[in-house]
A and B are shown apart, each in its own frame.
Chain A
Amino acid sequence: MREIKAETISQTITQLCKEANFNLPEDVLSALESALKREKTPRAQEIIKDLLENAAIAHRERLPLCQDTGMAAVFLEIGQEVMIVKGDLKEAINAGVRRGYREGYLRKSVVKDPLIRENTGDNTPAILHIGIVPGEKLKITVFPKGFGSENVSALTNLLPSQGKEGVKEFILKTVKKSGAKGCPPLVVGVGLGGTMEKAALLAKQALLRPLNSHHQDKHIAQLEEETLEEINQLGIGPQGLGGETTALGVNIETYPTHIAGLPVAVNISCHALRQARRVL
């Protein structure tokens, strides 16, 4: 057994909260740069340039890319040979988020009760997803998720007979309905299959896959490509003001499902697809 102290995890999460909010990932930067070359609408070009400049300022001045520094989703992949010692894991994670959001001057955007809506004041609790994997490493991903785009995400249960076309139609309908609200250019994460909650989680995990990657199954990779092309023909464009750059990528993750069902979850992200990782 390899021992990892809860405090080490906590400190790492603090760093990752800050890193994620100040630095636009490389794959998003290059996707924006390629979009700028392809884009023909002048106002759309101007907006993409501003987003690239925004990323440069955020990195240089250690300012958040966006004022919505999100609710912190934390993904842990814990090797089954790892033992977490000297502390409660959940408390350590929340302490890490609390410290990261305070030290990084990040916005505290979490309310304690969904109806009473009193701010918790420290951006906790985090949303925690834990997976157990073989090995003796621990992989931590911090994914601060803003709600402009979270609010336009959607989930449905299609009939199995609706198949690929039904899936595509639902993704396109979701993007179309989101208009300018999700802050296009978007990244679209899709979860296909499983159960309702599995599809939603897959959609979020799909957002964590690099933008320049494709699904390993050929027919899903093709669906990603076709859907992206059709989204970019909608004409929504950056900030909903027209153009070809409505989405920078479509990532789909799948899971076996029931004979009677075809759950589809679409998790929308704005271009600020903030994520930071560390392997302990």
Chain B
Amino acid sequence: MKELKIKSPLTGEEIKRLKAGDKVFISGILYTARDAAHQRLKETIDKGDDLPIALQNQVIYYTGPTPAPPGHPLGSCGPTTSSRMDSFTPLLLREGLKGMIGKGDRSSEVIQAIQKYQAIYFIAIGGAGALLAGAVRQAEVIAYDDLGPEAIYRLEVVDFPVFVAIDCEGRNIYNKS
């Protein structure tokens, strides 16, 4: 198992370097989005309207954090189950999204789309929300404030720890082709 450091937004070369099973520390920008935010992003794309975030080369983190207590930029922020976002993912990849962080396996449609768009899927440790919060330096709600914990946050992270679960060649940490 290799350990690598990468920057987000991602570049094509960096994605090609990463293999399923690698441990990766991400620094840079992550956007949070889960069920309700994905639903809205899809509706916006379907209508042909502008998205509240430019998805090109970005990484979406499937999480609904707890509110920031005094002295912290954000509360606990571990990953939620990715498969609930499966039906939206190929569309977002088509719009330029390059990376996702969540937990658990993805559908075969998502795995195919990851290969097609040369993207990457990472997993973080579910249930380690307090530990992962330590990597967050800044957090700001940038869209869908009314969704509360499901709003889209822009996070600045340093050495956010993940594993590569599905790489751009479709290799899978869960041993499914």
Contacts of B134 in A (CB 8 A): 57
Q: A135 interface residue, CB < 8 Å from B?
A: no
Residues of A within 8 A of B76 (CB): 58, 63-67, 69, 107
Knowing A67-B77, A117-B36, A180-B174, the reply to whether A106 touches B125 (Cβ < 8 A) is no
Are A240 and B127 CB-contacts (below 8 A) given A64-B66, A108-B148? no
Question: Is B81 a contact of A69 with CB atoms below 8 Å?
Answer: no
Determine if B163 and A241 form an interchain contact, defined as CB atoms under 8 angstroms apart: yes
Docked complex: B62-91 residues within 8 A CB-CB of A = 63-69, 72, 75-78, 80-81, 83
In the complex, the answer to whether B131 meets A181 with C-beta atoms within 8 Å is no
Task: Pick the interface stretch among A43-51, A201-209, A217-225, A249-257.
Answer: A43-51
| B9 → chain A closest CB, angstroms | 24
Interface contact B103-A67, CB-CB below 8 Å:
no
Between B1, B72, B128, the greatest number of chain A beta carbons within 10 A of the residue's beta carbon is seen for: B128
- Chain A hits for B103, CB < 8 A: 148, 180-181, 183, 239
Least CB distance from B79 to A in Å reads 9
Q: Is B51 an interface residue (CB 8 A)?
A: no
Assuming the contacts A47-B125, A121-B148, asked whether A67 and B83 have C-beta atoms less than 8 A apart, the reply is no
Q: Does A80 contact B (CB under 8 A)?
A: no
Q: Which partner residue on chain A sits nearest B83 by CB separation?
A: A181
- Bound form: Cα–Cα A217–B77 in Å: 41
Q: Determine whether the beta carbon of B128 is less than 8 Å from that of A51.
A: yes
Segment 158-177 of B: residues with Cβ below 8 Å from A: 163, 173-174
* B105 contacts A180, C-beta separation under 8 Å: yes
Residue on B with the closest CB to A111? B36
Query: In the complex, A212→B57 CA distance in Å?
Result: 48
User: Which bracket fits the contact residues of B?
Assistant: 35 or more
**Chain B residues closer than 8 Å to A51, beta-carbon distance:** 125, 127-128
Report the Cα distance A55→B127, complex, angstroms: 9
Residue from A54, A61, A69, A148 in contact with B128 in the complex, judged by beta carbons closer than 8 Å: A54
Smallest CB-CB separation from B65: which chain A residue? A67
Partner of A63, one of B1, B104, B130, B149: B130
With a CB–CB cut-off of 8 A, which chain B residues contact A53? 128, 131
Point out the residues of chain A lying under 8 angstroms from B127, CB to CB: 51, 54, 65-66, 183, 270-272
Of the residues B125, B147, B174, contact of A50 by C-beta under 8 Å: B125
Name A residues whose Cβ lies closer than 8 Å to a Cβ of B.
Answer: 42-43, 47, 50-51, 53-55, 57-58, 61-69, 105-109, 117, 119, 121, 148, 151, 179-181, 183, 239-241, 270-272
Apart from A105-B75, A179-B105, what are 17 other A-B pairs with CB-CB below 8 Å? Answer: A42-B1, A51-B127, A54-B125, A63-B66, A64-B129, A65-B127, A67-B65, A67-B77, A105-B67, A105-B68, A107-B75, A109-B64, A121-B148, A148-B103, A181-B81, A239-B123, A240-B104
Q: 11 A–B contact pairs at CB < 8 A?
A: A53-B131, A55-B130, A63-B72, A63-B129, A66-B127, A67-B78, A68-B64, A107-B67, A107-B75, A107-B76, A270-B127
